[in-house]
Chain A
Amino acid sequence: MLKNAIPHSEPILRIGHVSKSFRLSDEKLDVLDDVTLDIAHGEFLSIIGASGCGKSTLLRIMAGLETAGLGQILFHGRVIRGTRIEIGMIFQEPRLFPWLSARENIRFGIFKASEEEDRLVDDHLALVGLADFADALPKQLSGGMQQRVSIARALINRPEILLLDEPFGALDALTRIQMQNEIIRIWRSHNTTMVLVTHDIDEAIFLSDTIVILSDRPGAVKKTIRVCLPRPRERNSVEFMSVRREIYLHFFENSTIEPEYYL
């Protein structure tokens, strides 16, 4: 597979000189500063940065949940405003509707009503491995299972781009690894462009074709790293470690902490 090849076609999503600031009582808080980023069709791109660096805000701007103060978002070369059905999003919390079963939560995602609905919902329950839990209420599901439901809900319209805002951050280490494998499987089978925001460097290396490191507030693109490791990736391989080392060096560029300490 040539998933890692640098695509030459027009980017599916282009973030052009996006800046954003919030007003906190009297102070102006600059969150993003002139972020420019191209995301290729079918790419798995991760954005990492320290907490509060504006990476989630950047993702929310891509989703259309927030507007950029300056700059624009181009989807297939056209400026977009607001949310779009072609761009899905998964949040850190599953955000399921507690009064609906897993099946009905997934069905809620459907954009265009059709006669195929039931089959579509069943397919997506199976896709995330929850066929046996179709009628369970969210409170009866574990955190990982809840997040699977929310992934199925987001995928049911076959979005071209899936934005993931620290989707596995609240899960335990083992479940997280399992979910990372699942998301790779879905990415491969659906050919969805994935944009992941995370603060987990290993997660970013394991999943991504491209890793974008944002600087501390205000967030600006500090470094873009292409991860050219073959898939499936071995988390403890020498190559994996060397990518990790490279990222750590960029991460702690201006800090006095010895990066070796973290390796």
Chain B
Amino acid sequence: MSKFPDRRDAFAEDESLRHSRIAEQIVNYLLLIGSPVILLAVWQLAGDRGVLNLSIVPTPKTILDALVAFTVSGRLADYFLASFVRVVAGFAIGAGSGLLIGALGGISVKFAYATAVVLGVLRPIPMIGLLPLFILWFGIDEWSKILVIAMGAIWPVLLNTEGGIRNVDPKHIEVARILMKDKATVLRKIIFPSAVPSLLTGLRLGFSTAWRGIVASEMIGASAGVGYLISYARELSQPAVMFLGLFIIGTVGILIDIVLQRLEKRLLRWV
């Protein structure tokens, strides 16, 4: 050992630090991917050993078989598309009204007071509770389903929009007063941009609520859709198909959330 640590020693230390960081990342990924794989393996094993009642609990393999069969027959794509169109339409209507009502409530305290009781009573009603009523009003085909989804999507968007607008920094408003900006400019240049982060959160939550609503909306009077697949498989006692439907909802839900989170991050580079 020399008396003075030379540069190579310092680099060596850097290198080992880098290695341990990479090792930690690998471990984390293994945990992330490995745990569901192990879960599936144990599940399959339990099924093979006869621990599970196979008439009500499928095994991963039978679910996979169902997935292949539905994919080959083309029904999976049809059902997914049918559900997706409903969700997008319902989300568009729900998010649109949520944005509008939330923005009005955020800007005008009078409007917020005027709507507080009605919205407060409507909000706790679950989507599924509205379905029979909407079928009565709008018929058993698409509109009742779309509007049920819309009623689910509206709340996260509405509340986050209103909150975002309310939370504008009063210090920024003072700057605008000093610079003699009119109300329209303040709204356009300060209030709306500062509400964008919570507005995007609202839209993201609204979309995942809308996606979750397909099971409820397709429970009655549907002839296609992922939600319909689940109810239909229950009637036919096909647990593997029921599980397939649930897996699709879960997987697509998380994928959509990841995509929307990425989008949010990209749009909010200034935060």
Contact = CB atoms under 8 A, between A and B. Distances in A.
Q: Do A and B bind each other?
A: yes
Contact of A65 (B177, B180, B269, B271): B177
Interface string B194-211: 101000000000000000
A59 to B, nearest CB: 11
Interface of A: 63-65, 83-85, 87-89, 91, 93, 95, 97-100, 108-109, 111, 137-139, 153-154, 157
Contacts of A99: 193-194, 196, 270
A91 B271 CA distance: 21
Q: Most B CB atoms within 10 A — which of A64, A88, A95?
A: A95
Contacts of A97: 172, 189-190, 193-194
Contacts of A65: 174, 177-178
A72 B158 CA distance: 44
Interface in B188-243: 189-190, 193-194, 196
Nearest to A63: B178
A98 B270 contact: yes
B178 A88 contact: yes
A111 B131 CA distance: 54
Interface in B36-56: none
Given A84-B180, A85-B179, A87-B178, 16 more contacts: A63-B178, A65-B174, A65-B178, A83-B180, A85-B180, A91-B171, A95-B174, A97-B190, A98-B271, A99-B193, A99-B196, A109-B179, A111-B179, A137-B269, A139-B271, A153-B179
Interface residues of B, number: 16
B65 to A, nearest CB: 51
B175 interface: yes
A139 B179 CA distance: 22
A137 B270 contact: yes
A139 B178 contact: no
A154 B175 CA distance: 9
Contacts of B269: 137
Interface in B127-182: 171-172, 174-175, 177-180
B270 to A, nearest CB: 4
Nearest to B193: A99
Contacts of B189: 97, 108
B179 A108 contact: yes
A139 B175 contact: no
A35 to B, nearest CB: 21
Given A98-B270, A98-B271, A137-B270, A111 B171 contact: no
A139 B194 CA distance: 15
18 contacts: A64-B177, A65-B178, A84-B180, A85-B180, A91-B171, A91-B174, A93-B171, A97-B172, A97-B193, A99-B196, A108-B189, A109-B179, A111-B180, A137-B269, A138-B270, A153-B179, A154-B178, A157-B179
B164 to A, nearest CB: 13
Contacts of B171: 91, 93, 95
Contacts of A139: 270-271
A100 B172 CA distance: 13
A98 B179 CA distance: 17
Nearest to B269: A137
Contact of B172 (A63, A87, A95): A95
Nearest to A91: B171
B178 A89 contact: yes
Contacts of B174: 65, 91, 95
A190 B271 CA distance: 35
Contacts of B194: 97, 99
Contacts of A64: 177
A66 to B, nearest CB: 10
A93 B196 CA distance: 22
A67 B134 CA distance: 55
Contacts of A88: 178
Contacts of A85: 179-180
B193 A83 contact: no
B178 to A, nearest CB: 5
Contacts of B179: 85, 108-109, 111, 153, 157
A95 B180 contact: no
Nearest to A150: B175
Q: Most B CB atoms within 10 A — which of A108, A138, A139, A153?
A: A108
A195 to B, nearest CB: 14
Nearest to B176: A108
A97 B194 CA distance: 8
Nearest to A104: B189
